[in-house]
Amino acid sequence: MNARPPLESAAKPTNQGPRAGRRLAWIVLVLTTLAALTVFAATRHARLAVDVENRSMKSVGTPEADALARRVSGFGDDAVLLCLVEARPLAPFSEPERTALDAFERRLASLDGVRAVTRVPHERADLAPLAIELQPGFERIDELVAGVRASAASELPSPLLASITGQPAGELAIASAVRADQARVVPWIALLLFVLLAALYRHFGVALAVLAPAGMAIVWTLAAYQLLGRELDPVSVMLPAVLLTVGVAAGVHYVEAFLDRLPFDGDRLTSATRAVDDLVEPAMLAALTIVVGFLSLATSPIPAIVDFGVFSALGVAFAFVAYAFGLPALLAVLGPRTPPRGTERRGTWTGRIGESAAGWFARRATAVRWGTLGFALLACGSWAKLEFDNEPLRILAADDPFRVETEHVADTLGAVETFDVLVPAGSALADPARLALFAAGVAAFDGVAGFAGDPLAAKNGDRLLRFLLARAGSREREPLFAHVEELAGAHGADDVRATGTAVQIARDSGALARGQVYGSLAMLGVLFALFWFGLKSARRAAIALVPNVLPCVAVYAAIAWLDRPVSVATAMISSVLLGLIVDDTVHLLHGIRHLRDEGKSSLAAIETVFRRNGRAVVVTSIVLAGGFAGTALGELETSFEFGAVAAATILVALVADLVVLPALLVDRRELAAERSRHG
C-alpha cells in the first residue's frame, strides 16, 4: 500500500441516488454514535476531582513509603503548618506584642483541625516561629489556613506580620494551580491550534474537523480516568494538552491526503475515506510507537507518573479510533467541496524545501553522517554534568503567593521543612544515651538546621527524632538522608530510617531519574522491534531510531550546558517524545520503502517522498511544537517545563528528519555512480 498512491488513477465519483442516501445514513450514524459517547463521557469528566493531598505524587511499595506508613501509624500524619510571626520594624517584641502573641497562640490551638501548637525555639528576639500540628486525617486545609490568617488579623497588632507555610498549605496551593491549569491551558491551546489550522488551510470546517476527534479522545480519556477513581494531580493535568496536540498532529496527515485526493475524486466522503485507507498502516505504526513511549512510564514507582503514561496511551488509542471513523464523516460534512482558494499550491514551498533539503543533504551524506556522530558524542559527553533535582516548591510559579511566602520564611529562618528519624522499638539506639549522641551527630550534618522539637515515643515503643531541614533540593537532600542512615548503622542500628514527606520526595525523585534511564533504554528496544516489523527491514529500523534519539540527546545536552537540573517534568521527555516524534519519520520511511520496492533509486525515492510529504512533516512539527509551547500559559512550573522542552525536542526532530534522515537513507554506491555519470 503506497503512502500516497497515484492520484490520477482514482475513480471518479458515482454516488448518485440510493448510494448517496446510504452514505448520508452512514455519516449520520457515525456522528450520532460519537456524539452520544462524548456526551456520556462529558458527564463523567465533569465529576473529576483534584488530588488535594497530592497522594499520587508519592511512591508506593518502596522502603520510603513503608517507613512513612509506620511513622504515620505510630505518631500520626506528617502534617504541620509553620506560622512565622515577626516584628516590623525589626526589634524585640514589646510586652503588649508578647501578650498578643500568647493570645494568638491560644487562638490557633482552638481552631478546628489543630492538635497542638508549639513555639519553635529561635535565637532572634524579633521572630516567633509557631509549629501547628494538624489532627490525623483532617482534610479541610483551606478552612484551616483561612482560620490562621483570620486569627492573625484579629489577634496580632499591625506591627506584627504573620507568614504561613508548610506541606499542607503547599499541597493546597498546588491543587489550586491544578484547577486553574485545567480550566485555562486546554482552551487556549485549542484556540491556538484552530487559528493555526484555519490559516494554513483557509477553511474553518477543516480546522474544526481536525480538532473534534482530538477533543473526543480527551473527554473519553478523562471519563475513564474518573470512572477508575483517579484524581487530577500536577502530572495528569498535562494529559488534555498532550492528547490534543498529538491528535491534531495526526489529523494533519489525513487532511493533507484528503486535499490531495479531492480534485480527482470530486467527492468529500470518497476522498476522506480513501485518505484514511491510504494512511492507516503508517498511522497505526505511529500510534503504536506513541503508545509504547507513554507505557514506558508505567515502570515508575510514582502513581502519578504511571497514570500519566497509561492514560496517555489509552488516549492515543481513543484518538486513533476517533480519527479513523470520525474524520471521514466530519470532512464529508465540514470539509470543502474543492481545495480552498489559495491552497491549491499549498505544498509548493514546503515541498520544495523538503525536496531540495533532502536532495542536498543526501548528496553530502558522508559529511552529514560524520557531523552527526561528532555532535552526538559531544552531547553525550555533556550528560556527565546533568543533575536531577525536584524541589517541590518549583512546581508553583515564581509569583505564586504561597511560594513567595515560603521563600520569605525560608530566607528568614533558614529552614521551613522537617524530616524525622524513626527508631524502631528494640533498636540498638533505644538506649537514651546512645540516642542523644546519635541525634547530636545528625544535627551537625550540613543541611540540617537544628531540632524541630522534642523526641516522641509511640505506644509500641518506636521513637521519633525530629529535625529542621535547611532549604535545598532533592539532589542535596538524598545524600543527606543516606548519611543519616549510615551514621545509625555505625551505631549498630541498621533498622533506623530517615522518614517523612521530605525524605520520600527526595528519594522518589532519584528513583524517577534512574527509572527513566532504564525505561528509555527498554523503549529503544521495543521501538526497534516495532520499526523492524512495520518497515520490513532491520536496517531501516535502525535508521529510523537515529533522527528520533538525536533530539532527546540534544535537548538533555542543552539542559546540561545551561546548568539546569532535570526535574520530574523534563525527566519524562525522553520516554514520551521518543514515541511521539517518530510519527513523521514513520510516514517518510513508509513512503520511501514502497518506492524502493517499485524499483526507484534511493535518491529518487527520497526526493519524491519529501516532495509529497514535506508539507505534512513541517506542519505537524509546527502544530506539535505550538501545542506544547501553549502549556506556558499554565500556572504550574511542571507544565511549563514539560511544554518548553517538548517543543524544543520536536523542532530538533524536524531538523533531524530533513537533514540527517536523507543522509542515512541514501545509497552511497548510487551517489558515486551519479557523480561518475556527471563527470
Kindly tell me if the per-residue pLDDT of 9 is higher than 50. no
145 within 8 A of 170, measured Cβ to Cβ: no
Please give the pLDDT value at position 627: 78
Q: What is the pLDDT of residues 599-635, one digit of tens each?
A: 788 778 887 888 777 777 887 788 778 877 877 777 7
User: What is the spatial distance between Cα 67 and Cα 225, in angstroms, rounded to a whole number?
Assistant: 29
366 within 8 A of 668, measured Cβ to Cβ: yes
User: What is the spatial distance between Cα 172 and Cα 234, in angstroms, rounded to a whole number?
Assistant: 12
User: What is the spatial distance between Cα 158 and Cα 22, in angstroms, rounded to a whole number?
Assistant: 78
Please give the pLDDT value at position 671: 67
Please give the pLDDT value at position 311: 94
Which residues lie closer than 8 Å to 47 by C-beta, 6 or more apart? 226
Which residues lie closer than 8 Å to 432 by C-beta, 6 or more apart? none
User: What is the spatial distance between Cα 94 and Cα 675, in angstroms, rounded to a whole number?
Assistant: 92
Please give the pLDDT value at position 514: 64
Write phi, then psi, for 4 (nearest 5 degrees): -135, 95
Return the C-alpha cell found at 323. 480519527
Please give the pLDDT value at position 212: 93
The pTM (predicted TM-score) of the whole model is: 0.76
Q: What is the pLDDT of residues 155-185, one digit of tens each?
A: 888 888 888 888 788 878 887 887 777 777 7
Residue 12: band (very low, low, confident or very high) from pLDDT cuts 50, 70, 90: very low
The 3-state DSSP class for residue 129 equals strand
Amino acid at 169: A
Residue in the block written with cell 516584628: 87
* Long-range CB contacts for residues 488-494, cutoff 8 Å, separation at least 24: 488/421, 488/429, 488/438, 491/428, 491/429, 491/434, 491/437, 491/438, 492/428, 493/423, 493/427, 493/428, 493/429, 493/438
- On the question of a common fold for 76-172 and 412-507, the answer reads yes
Please give the pLDDT value at position 204: 92
In order of 293, 575, 582, 601, the CA distances from 297 in angstroms are: 8, 7, 17, 40
Please give the pLDDT value at position 355: 64
Burial letters 282-316, b for 16+ CB under 10 A, else e:
bbebbbbbbbbbbbbbebbbbbbbbbbbbbbbbbb
Architecture of domain 76-172: 2-Layer Sandwich (3.30)
Q: What is the pLDDT of residues 626-641, one digit of tens each?
A: 877 877 777 777 777 7
Mean pLDDT on 548-553: 83
Q: What is the pLDDT of residues 532-542, one digit of tens each?
A: 876 677 877 78
pLDDT over 90, % of the chain: 9
Kindly tell me if the per-residue pLDDT of 285 is higher than 70. yes
Which of 20-34, 222-236, 571-585 is predicted most confidently?
Answer: 222-236
| DSSP collapsed to 3 states, 151-199 | HHHHHCCCCEEEEEEEHHHHHHHHHHHHHHHHHHHHHHHHHHHHHHHHH
Burial class of residue 159 in the structure, from the number of CB atoms within 10 Å of its CB (0-12 exposed, 13-18 middle, 19+ buried): middle
Q: Taken in order 375, 512, 528, 591, is the CA torsion positive or negative? A: negative
Q: What is the pLDDT of residues 54-70, one digit of tens each?
A: 777 777 778 878 888 88
Domain ranges of the chain: 76-172, 412-507
Among the ranges given (216-230, 264-278, 610-624, 640-654), the one the predictor scored with the smallest mean pLDDT: 610-624
Among the ranges given (18-22, 406-410, 543-547), the one the predictor scored with the smallest mean pLDDT: 18-22
User: What is the spatial distance between Cα 434 and Cα 426, in angstroms, rounded to a whole number?
Assistant: 13
Residue 186's nearest CA partner among 650, 639, 649 is 639
Please give the pLDDT value at position 281: 78
Q: What is the pLDDT of residues 650-672, one digit of tens each?
A: 888 888 888 888 888 887 777 66
User: What is the spatial distance between Cα 535 and Cα 530, in angstroms, rounded to a whole number?
Assistant: 8
Write phi, then psi, for 548 (nearest 5 degrees): -105, -30
User: What is the spatial distance between Cα 485 and Cα 463, in angstroms, rounded to a whole number?
Assistant: 15
Please give the pLDDT value at position 6: 45
Mean pLDDT on 107-124: 84
Please give the pLDDT value at position 2: 38
Kindly tell me if the per-residue pLDDT of 238 is higher than 60. yes
Q: What is the pLDDT of residues 361-392, one digit of tens each?
A: 877 888 888 998 898 888 888 877 777 766 66
349 or 243, greater pLDDT: 243
CATH match for 412-507 among 3.80.10, 1.10.3470, 3.30.70, 2.60.120? 3.30.70
665 within 8 A of 543, measured Cβ to Cβ: yes
Residue 36: band (very low, low, confident or very high) from pLDDT cuts 50, 70, 90: very high
Mean pLDDT on 194-210: 88
User: What is the spatial distance between Cα 129 and Cα 82, in angstroms, rounded to a whole number?
Assistant: 7
Q: What is the pLDDT of residues 385-410, one digit of tens each?
A: 777 766 667 777 778 888 888 888 88
52 or 32, greater pLDDT: 32
Please give the pLDDT value at position 14: 45
Residue 109's nearest CA partner among 80, 133, 143, 136 is 133
Please give the pLDDT value at position 318: 93
Return the C-alpha cell found at 253. 496527515
Tell me how long the chain is: 679
Q: What is the pLDDT of residues 448-481, one digit of tens each?
A: 888 877 788 888 888 999 888 887 777 778 889 9
Among the ranges given (197-206, 274-283, 345-354), the one the predictor scored with the smallest mean pLDDT: 345-354
Residue 37: band (very low, low, confident or very high) from pLDDT cuts 50, 70, 90: very high
Return the C-alpha cell found at 474. 532533592
Please give the pLDDT value at position 412: 83
Residue 40: band (very low, low, confident or very high) from pLDDT cuts 50, 70, 90: very high
Residue 11: band (very low, low, confident or very high) from pLDDT cuts 50, 70, 90: very low
In order of 368, 534, 603, the CA distances from 596 in angstroms are: 22, 15, 10
Please give the pLDDT value at position 217: 93
Residue 118's nearest CA partner among 127, 105, 107 is 105
Mean pLDDT on 148-152: 88
605 within 8 A of 596, measured Cβ to Cβ: yes
171 within 8 A of 141, measured Cβ to Cβ: yes
Kindly tell me if the per-residue pLDDT of 5 is higher than 60. no
